[in-house]
């Protein structure tokens, strides 16, 4: 079920009516049922994966809180990580990795909707409980509502338990400001997605499909169009998700903050897909050592984190290259910024940062690395 689809425009008013009629103490159950209906509308057979991830991380959280032995706590956490990453690998990367090793499989695997998001969200809960940053959730229905919360189930933002699960337990907040801003966010997100992203996609698809016959200026303009497309697609969906959540009385985190006006590449990643970039910072970069280590090790940590972030986006060497490129951008910026930041005017810094990002988008959009270099 898509937010811009006719099915959702029928589903959501019915959900609001049901929530209004039924007692407040049924709120969590209603969210779970609605979320599973929303997800199963796309494919009923993959609902089991969502439930398994929820069930395992729920019990892992309870066991982590009870267990005092550090070795056993690590084993419990490993179970959560292996399950979530195993599901993600099996459906998203198995065929691709097999191909890298020369095993051309004759079948393909359907990628379950939203799997990259709900596995990361569920996994972050187990890690936070392991770190004693949050207490485990004892109510299974509350935890199931947190993992499957349908506004952000398919494309984020990736929520932390400290934000969304806390709201689910305390109940929705009904305010006129929430209704007004929720409607505004949803409509603006819908415009971004349907008017800008979808129309830009038509232009980009046409140009990139026949790139050998396009001039340099045509490919450059098409790449600008893709930059607009991917921003309006991702941020538009997030705006719709946040708007829907507000209409239900919940607040999701901001995921995009005018990223193309960033004045450097670090600033860009503070503004682009914020829930994902902070996820990789907290659960990959910092555990690797972060910046609490020698410079060479810090640079290694940055590049590895961005490589993993690239692979997260898709099973293709183009995403690996995109992640590597951004890792190198950050390393070069970190090495040089003290010398040049004070002498480069901010408008020029914004212009340069955007075009470095644009270069990366060419790899992100291309089917192969070779095609990306040809377009460049």
The catalytic site residues sit at 313
Tokens describing residue 180 = 């007004």
Retrieve residue 331's tokens: 């390393």
Decide if 56 contacts 147 (C-beta within 8 A): no
Among 206, 333, 222, smallest CA distance to 268 is for: 333
User: Which residues, at least 6 apart from 2, have a Cβ–Cβ distance to it below 8 Å?
Assistant: 8
Contact of 157 with 277, CB cutoff 8 Å: no
Helical axes 70-88 vs 115-130, angle rounded to 10°: 180
DSSP 8-state assignment for residue 289: T
Beta-carbon neighbour count of residue 278 at 10 Å?
Answer: 17
- In the block, tokens 């392991």 appear at 130
CA angle 323, 326, 327 (to 5 degrees): 85
102-110: long-range contacts, CB 8 A cutoff, minimum separation 24: 110/43
Task: Return the closest-CA partner of residue 324 out of 289, 353, 360.
Answer: 360
**What phi and psi, each to the nearest 5 degrees, are found at residue 157?**
-65, 155
Q: Enumerate the H helices of the chain as residue ranges.
A: 6-21, 27-40, 47-66, 70-88, 94-100, 115-130, 140-148, 166-170, 176-191, 198-209, 216-247, 265-271, 274-280, 286-288, 295-313, 317-340, 346-365, 369-375
């Amino acid at each position: 079920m898509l937010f811009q689809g006719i099915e959702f425009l029928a589903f959501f008013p019915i959900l609001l009516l049901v929530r209004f009629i039924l007692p407040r103490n049924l709120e969590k159950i209603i969210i779970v049922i609605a979320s599973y209906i929303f997800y199963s509308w796309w494919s009923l057979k993959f609902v089991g994966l969502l439930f398994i991830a929820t069930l395992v991380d729920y019990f892992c959280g309870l066991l982590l809180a009870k267990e005092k032995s550090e070795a056993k706590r690590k084993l419990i956490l490993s179970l959560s990580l292996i399950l979530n990453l195993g599901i993600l690998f099996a459906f998203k990367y198995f065929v691709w990795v097999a191909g890298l090793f020369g095993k051309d499989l004759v079948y393909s695997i359907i990628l379950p909707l939203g799997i990259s998001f709900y596995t990361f969200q569920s996994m972050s809960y187990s890690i936070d409980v392991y770190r004693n940053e949050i207490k485990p959730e004892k109510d299974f229905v509350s935890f199931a509502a947190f993992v499957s919360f349908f506004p952000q189930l398919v494309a984020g933002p990736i929520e932390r338990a400290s934000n969304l699960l806390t709201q689910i337990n305390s109940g929705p907040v009904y305010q006129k400001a929430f209704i007004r801003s929720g409607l505004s966010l949803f409509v603006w997100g819908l415009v971004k997605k349907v008017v800008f992203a979808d129309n830009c996609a038509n232009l980009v698809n046409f140009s990139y499909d026949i790139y050998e016959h396009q001039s340099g200026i045509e490919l450059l303009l098409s790449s600008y169009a893709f930059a607009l497309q991917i921003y309006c697609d991702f941020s538009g969906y997030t705006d719709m998700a946040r708007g829907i959540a507000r209409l239900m009385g919940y607040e999701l985190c901001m995921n995009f903050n005018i990223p193309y006006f960033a004045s450097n590449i670090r600033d860009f990643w503070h503004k682009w897909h914020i829930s994902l970039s902070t996820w990789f910072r907290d659960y990959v970069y910092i555990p690797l050592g972060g910046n609490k280590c020698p410079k060479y090790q810090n640079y290694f940590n940055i590049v590895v984190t961005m490589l993993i972030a690239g692979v997260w986006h898709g099973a293709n060497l183009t995403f690996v290259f995109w992640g590597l490129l951004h890792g190198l951008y950050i390393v070069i910026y970190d090495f040089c910024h003290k010398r040049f930041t004070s002498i480069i005017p901010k408008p020029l810094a914004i212009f340069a940062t955007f075009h470095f990002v644009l270069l990366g988008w060419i790899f992100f959009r291309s089917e192969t690395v070779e095609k990306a270099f040809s377009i460049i």
